[in-house]
Structure 1
């Protein structure tokens, strides 16, 4: 839906992160020069990247030359902060680096890698890691795009010096199940970006092509404020709408005719999620159930994620990877014919006063290793293109990588600022029903009980919506053998007309007795489906702290079957949030899975506001 939280705090009101995004994008232009230098290493147009331009494809890489004997203990602690996407590569580089003796000013070196969403990491770097002990702060930052270096630099003074050293490349592609790509002929002849968005907008395309069993065309995108893939997806939307994905800088992005076309492009989005990993996790769940088409037709991701997926590696939260057998149906990486953006994975030694001279020397030694032939072999084995554009043959085959790329230039700063600032206006609207458990267990905590916290969190979550989003409120419980109550509290309607009523009635909610979970989900998912709108993302946000404890109609099997059936033609995404330690997590997981949505964990009630803020960015 595009209701994106600020990089460092999902509870910020929309105007905060819109203003921040528009401002910080003014500095991203530096990243364009870094990416241009990476993609065109022989070019003299613009400054070199970080510690020097990468070598040309014909220039041999330096050889790693470790000392004969490692330095003495205690070792220099080298903390490295990465994005979610490239954390595995950074850990592999660290392991290979420490496999040989290292001696920096007479000391051994111990790299330690941590990971964070790109937008959140940029905010922490800019703020110089408030509340984090100096010894735990990173000396090296390795996001997946130079854009995040510029964003952090805007608010972080000299914390991010220079442009960084690009150590790997990964193209941003359209990933599709292979049978779907084949049905469109895209496995043989790549479409343009305009073709991709046009197809996503034809919701009945599979029925037209004789594959009605695949349902609607389900097209996913990540957040343009959190994810590089999401930002590049938005750039592609503007480029396709304006007739040139490489010519955004020459367009009048405020022209009403262009804005209307971008809105039309965004209508093809099934829903937005914070990161591409969320989409791939659910695609794998659908594949395991025997029909990946129930969840996914296409998603814009980095090609390394396609390699991960095809070899059986997925992540529910983007942080913890789970490895299993290869999927029944692999994904095909589609490289649109008019070009792709390329993430440049730059590393920078941070300039904070917590980075002492020994750590700085160790960081430089580590980055020098990353650019050697041995380091670049690790890069390739980790699913990336080397700084010279080379590929590991096994990775390329599994990931369905193209051997060569047609890179797109990063737009100028003012263009990026205009696009990001316009996103709330052009993104697809949401039609969402908040469904709140008001059973007695919600008020059993002393002080600020769970029900009051839930009310407060929902009110804050409303700040992530615009007036054109259609929002409603329902609640569920019952007394004795009585009917479900109170049911619909505020009908789904444009938020600009019903926000005051929704908040007032939310405040009046009182706990009753039981938890008719299955009846509530079945009833309200059915009502949302009856009012289904193609040009909206139709969803329910379910908050529950317990389990179904009533003999009211319904069971988990019936609810799951209903949601799966609806997902085929009138998908209603039921995002579930487990609230408190007694929540029925397995049931909430299954409900979300059956609807094609995501489960969120707030079993620690103190995290409710943060988690709900993240949840409502996933429409």
Structure 2
């Protein structure tokens, strides 16, 4: 009898396990980057074999590959399934930097959880042909990105390291709006401490990078590795590129194909954010359910447990302690132990500012600077303990901003306004919209130097004329914008446009197929913020406040970087 009971109990126990859930499985969609999606698909199959459930409801995991940059752009409470496919219940970007960028949008921030555990890590490195890395002391000697930029600036090139046959030190870069490795490299240079305050020194570093780049891949995040492989197959790897941003796992995968010239991963001596593959269970979204969140959490715990760690280590990743599997070795171009300092956790605004800076440096811009030179700009002020005027501080800010416009196809012009001259025109065109070559830069700098404050402010009439001028001189495939910097309010002695007239005119002039943004900067305490907000809104532009004179340079750069 006892044997029969035991048999029935055992049979019942087996039956309960086999039938632990019922109904069509509730599907949990996991969007993961290509680099880790293969490992996660394998783990999802293993987890599915355990017949997972939530409160008796069967659940299933479907891992889909989607670039981190694409998810970052698309993620919102209004996820478009027709354009982007299934909405994510879980998002695993290559780096938390992508999540930080998404979190910098108010509506999207609510979707990003506070708990962001890493499931695998891959360091951001400088990828170099191994023989070149050895020539500069790898693996013992460390390099930073500024060190590498200095090498690229050296006119002797590789001759300085005893290899004139290699020619120049050639740096490659992928678009950081698409490439995790390039994004992390830029963060290390532009805002290494993640404090969102991009200093002049940091700006100078990225300008140097831009000016020393030999190759730039704007459209394909994997193009640098692909073209390096093609050059290697043709026997020209050393003449192709000397260094470029990569993730150490990318280096491992490249070397696994036995190239003629394998790569080495040089770990930046000043540290860099890691590609930490955070497991983000989406919250507060219309498609979220408690069942899916519970199932996602179960899968996360499985991935972070022993079997999951073993699979990810075998696939070339490191664990949360920085330990790699057997393939993470010097023989494969990697360092088994990372001794470089970890980078600071970046803030959402730091990522956004970094990308905005890079975008401004590399895009083509059609820009008209419009500077207030009325009485208000002559106000005395103090910056860094030195007596000056609002105009003098603004002049310095425009000079700095001018150096941040990098594309040779860009056009820049300069106006000033301070009431009406004898002919009744409330502004002066000092430098026409022309290609930003050495002559144009010199002309703008010279005219800035000769500006003097005095007279009333015909802000409204000037804004209308400037916007019309850029609209009529629209430059295709460029960011077209007017930047108006003023310390006062409209007080045109000749009357002129009212604020209502101006906004009506701007709205009527704006062509959504040929957009021009009017960016306004309110400088100092006397600026008419309400008016400038309305002016910018009429053109889909933005208003920026700079209450303190010392902030004007950063404020002006923000206006340039954030124009669409």
Q: TM-score, normalised by structure 1?
A: 0.52
Paired residue for 1:80, among 14, 18, 30? 30
Q: Match of 2:297, SS?
A: helix
Are the equivalent residues in 1 in contact too, given 2:100–2:347 (CA < 8 A)? Answer: no
Give 5+ residue unaligned stretches, structure 2: 1-15, 366-403, 411-433, 441-469, 478-564
Q: Match of 1:86, SS?
A: helix
Report whether the alignment pairs 1:343 with 2:275. yes
The CA distance in 2 between the partners of 1:236 and 1:505, in whole Å, is 33
Are the equivalent residues in 2 in contact too, given 1:222–1:273 (CA < 8 A)? Answer: yes
- Cα 1:467/1:421, change in 2 over 3 Å: closer
- Cα 1:382/1:128, change in 2 over 3 Å: farther
Paired residue for 1:269, among 213, 232, 241? 213
Q: Match of 1:384, SS?
A: coil
What is residue 200 of structure 1 aligned with on the other side? 152
The CA distance in 2 between the partners of 1:418 and 1:504, in whole Å, is 25
The CA distance in 2 between the partners of 1:76 and 1:368, in whole Å, is 18
Query: Relative contact order (C-alpha < 8 Å, sep 6+): which is higher?
Result: 1
- Cα 1:130/1:500, change in 2 over 3 Å: closer
The CA distance in 1 between the partners of 2:277 and 2:357, in whole Å, is 27
Are the equivalent residues in 2 in contact too, given 1:468–1:495 (CA < 8 A)? Answer: no
Q: Match of 1:110, SS?
A: strand
How far has the Cα of 1:265 moved from its partner?
3.6
| Alignment deviations for residues 200-254 of structure 1 (CA, whole Å, 9 cap, x no partner) | 3336412444534433322122333333322221233337xxxxx5x564x9634
What is residue 191 of structure 1 aligned with on the other side? 143
The CA distance in 2 between the partners of 1:286 and 1:300, in whole Å, is 17
Q: Match of 2:27, SS?
A: strand
Paired residue for 1:421, among 346, 356, 360? 356
RMSD, aligned α-carbons: 3.8
Are the equivalent residues in 2 in contact too, given 1:263–1:428 (CA < 8 A)? Answer: no
- Cα 1:292/1:100, change in 2 over 3 Å: farther
Are the equivalent residues in 2 in contact too, given 1:201–1:265 (CA < 8 A)? Answer: no
Q: Match of 1:470, SS?
A: coil
Are the equivalent residues in 1 in contact too, given 2:130–2:333 (CA < 8 A)? Answer: no
- Cα 1:156/1:261, change in 2 over 3 Å: closer
Report whether the alignment pairs 1:146 with 2:96. yes
How far has the Cα of 1:166 moved from its partner?
1.7
How far has the Cα of 1:302 moved from its partner?
1.2
Q: TM-score, normalised by structure 2?
A: 0.57
How far has the Cα of 1:160 moved from its partner?
2.6
Are the equivalent residues in 1 in contact too, given 2:184–2:274 (CA < 8 A)? Answer: no
How do 1:531-570 and structure 2 match up within 5 A?
none
Paired residue for 2:253, among 291, 294, 308? 308
- Cα 1:286/1:127, change in 2 over 3 Å: farther
The CA distance in 2 between the partners of 1:191 and 1:346, in whole Å, is 28
- Cα 1:150/1:254, change in 2 over 3 Å: closer
- Cα 1:127/1:109, change in 2 over 3 Å: closer
Q: Give the length in aligned residue pairs.
A: 366
How do 1:222-301 and structure 2 match up within 5 A?
222-238=174-190, 245=192, 247=193, 249=195, 253-255=198-200, 259-274=203-218, 276-301=221-246
Report whether the alignment pairs 1:354 with 2:287. yes
The CA distance in 2 between the partners of 1:187 and 1:196, in whole Å, is 15
| Alignment deviations for residues 78-102 of structure 1 (CA, whole Å, 9 cap, x no partner) | 2111123332332232233234443
How far has the Cα of 1:399 moved from its partner?
4.3
Q: Match of 2:172, SS?
A: strand
What is residue 409 of structure 1 aligned with on the other side? 344
What is residue 70 of structure 2 aligned with on the other side? 120
Are the equivalent residues in 1 in contact too, given 2:74–2:84 (CA < 8 A)? Answer: no
What is residue 369 of structure 2 aligned with on the other side? none
Are the equivalent residues in 2 in contact too, given 1:203–1:217 (CA < 8 A)? Answer: no
How do 1:53-132 and structure 2 match up within 5 A?
71-72=21-22, 74-132=24-82
How far has the Cα of 1:370 moved from its partner?
0.9
Report whether the alignment pairs 1:162 with 2:114. yes
Report whether the alignment pairs 1:177 with 2:141. no
Q: Which structure: larger Rg? A: 2
Q: Match of 1:270, SS?
A: strand
Q: Match of 2:123, SS?
A: strand
| Alignment deviations for residues 16-63 of structure 1 (CA, whole Å, 9 cap, x no partner) | xxxxxxxxxxxxxxxxxxxxxxxxxxxxxxxxxxxxxxxxxxxxxxxx
How far has the Cα of 1:500 moved from its partner?
9.9
Are the equivalent residues in 2 in contact too, given 1:76–1:108 (CA < 8 A)? Answer: yes
Are the equivalent residues in 2 in contact too, given 1:144–1:343 (CA < 8 A)? Answer: yes
How do 1:431-470 and structure 2 match up within 5 A?
468-470=406-408
Are the equivalent residues in 2 in contact too, given 1:134–1:354 (CA < 8 A)? Answer: no
